């Protein structure tokens, strides 16, 4: 049974590889494609369905991110081969014939490899979406699966009201009050951090990490000098982008708001949740009017 929810969870196994999730007094049949995905990515199911399902989701998402990088690399190789064809067309005979044939052969080979990589990524993405849809449909109201379902319903895209900065330096250049001098001489954000593991699809996938990981790479920071709340991305494979979420917060109000949200930080797309809540409460103070 799971220890991550108030509702009893367990697996029931039947003949012909039929798998059923026992959720409290409900028996929910796991569709064959989802059951096959589970067994493929978690060969030895445990007594904790929440752990097994989220481990499968994390593993697929991790592999899909790696495969997306492989697709991009394959596309670069196709482009390089096509440039070779162009260069070959500028050669003198007979070298032009020989090099054109070799270059076109390379284009065909690289295109085939690219198509294979694309299909592999599609298969992983389809498995990921099917697993997520089923967990959402199970409709758990609490625990890890309830948190996951709530997070997967959110669109990970940056909300339209959020102002995006390329990195912390650009953000601080926009208003020098946002920065303070660090001991090593650099200028860093000068605020109060409230959680350093906020999550967002597309940013949680650290290529160096495997296994179940319910953490993200975004930090939320309150800047008391400017009254702003911002989020900054801290990982090894993306730029340190900064999102300005809100502008009109005093210390007391920001503390109540952000600490109340912090308990939901490990939900998928918790950064998006924070952006919406901050936006809802972002009203000008009298001193700003």
4 and 145: one domain?
yes
Residue 222 inside a domain? The answer is: yes
Residue 212 inside a domain? The answer is: yes
Domain that holds residue 184: 163-288
Burial readout 46-66 (b: 16 or more C-beta within 10 A, e: otherwise): eebbbbbbbbbbbbbbbbbbe
Q: What percent of the chain has pLDDT over 90?
A: 78
Task: Please give the helix or strand (H or E) that residue 188 lies within, else none.
Answer: strand 187-189
Give me the chain's average pLDDT, please.
Answer: 91
Final residue of a structural domain among 153, 183, 215: 153
Single pTM value for the model:
0.84
3-state secondary structure of 207: coil
258 and 127: one domain?
no
234 and 124: one domain?
no
66 and 26: one domain?
yes
The pLDDT assigned to 214 comes to: 80
pLDDT in tens, 21-73: 999 999 999 999 999 999 999 989 999 999 999 999 999 998 998 999 999 99
pLDDT in tens, 151-202: 999 999 999 999 999 999 999 999 999 988 888 878 888 889 999 999 999 8
16 and 129: one domain?
yes
48 and 121: one domain?
yes
Q: What is the DSSP string of 90-127?
A: TSPTTHHHHHHHHHHHHHHHHHHHHHHHHHHHHHHHHH
Number of independent structural domains in the chain: 2
Final residue of a structural domain among 153, 182, 205: 153
143 and 174: one domain?
no
Give yes or no for residue 16 having a pLDDT over 80.
Answer: no
48 neighbors 23 (Cβ within 8 angstroms): no
pLDDT in tens, 113-149: 999 999 999 999 999 999 999 999 999 988 999 999 9
Final residue of a structural domain among 103, 126, 153: 153
Residue 121 contacts by C-beta under 8 Å, 6 or more apart in sequence? 64, 67, 68, 70, 71
105 and 180: one domain?
no
215 and 139: one domain?
no
**Cα angle 214, 154, 240; round to 5:** 60
Sheet holding 218-223, edge to edge: 163-165, 242-246, 228-233, 218-223, 192-193
pLDDT bucket at 239, cuts 50 / 70 / 90: confident
Residue 158 inside a domain? The answer is: no
118 and 192: one domain?
no
């Amino acid at each position: 049974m799971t220890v991550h929810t108030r509702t009893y969870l367990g697996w029931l196994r039947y003949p012909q590889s039929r798998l059923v999730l026992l959720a409290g007094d409900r028996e929910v049949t796991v569709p064959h494609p989802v059951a096959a995905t589970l067994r493929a990515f978690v060969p030895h199911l445990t007594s904790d369905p929440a752990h097994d399902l989220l481990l499968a989701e994390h593993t697929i998402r991790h592999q899909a991110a790696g495969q997306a990088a492989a697709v991009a690399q394959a596309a670069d190789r196709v482009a390089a081969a096509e440039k070779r064809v162009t260069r070959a067309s500028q050669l003198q005979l007979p070298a032009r014939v020989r090099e054109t044939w070799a270059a076109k052969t390379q284009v065909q080979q690289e295109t085939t490899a690219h198509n294979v990589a694309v299909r592999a990524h599609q298969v992983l993405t389809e498995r990921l979406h099917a697993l997520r849809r089923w967990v959402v449909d199970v409709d758990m109201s609490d625990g890890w699966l309830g948190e996951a379902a709530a997070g997967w319903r959110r669109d990970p895209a940056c909300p339209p009201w959020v102002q995006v900065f390329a990195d912390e330096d650009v953000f601080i250049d926009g208003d020098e009050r946002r920065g303070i001098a660090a001991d090593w001489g650099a200028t860093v954000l000068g605020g109060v951090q409230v959680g350093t593991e906020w999550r967002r699809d597309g940013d949680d996938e650290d290529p160096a990490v495997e296994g179940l990981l319910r953490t993200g790479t975004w930090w939320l920071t309150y800047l008391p000098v400017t009254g702003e709340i911002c989020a900054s991305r801290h990982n090894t494979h993306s730029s340190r982008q900064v999102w300005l979420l809100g502008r009109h917060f005093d210390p007391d109000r920001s503390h109540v708001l952000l600490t109340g949200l912090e308990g939901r930080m490990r939900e998928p797309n918790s950064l998006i949740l924070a952006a919406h809540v901050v936006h809802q409460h972002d009203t000008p103070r009298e001193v700003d009017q």
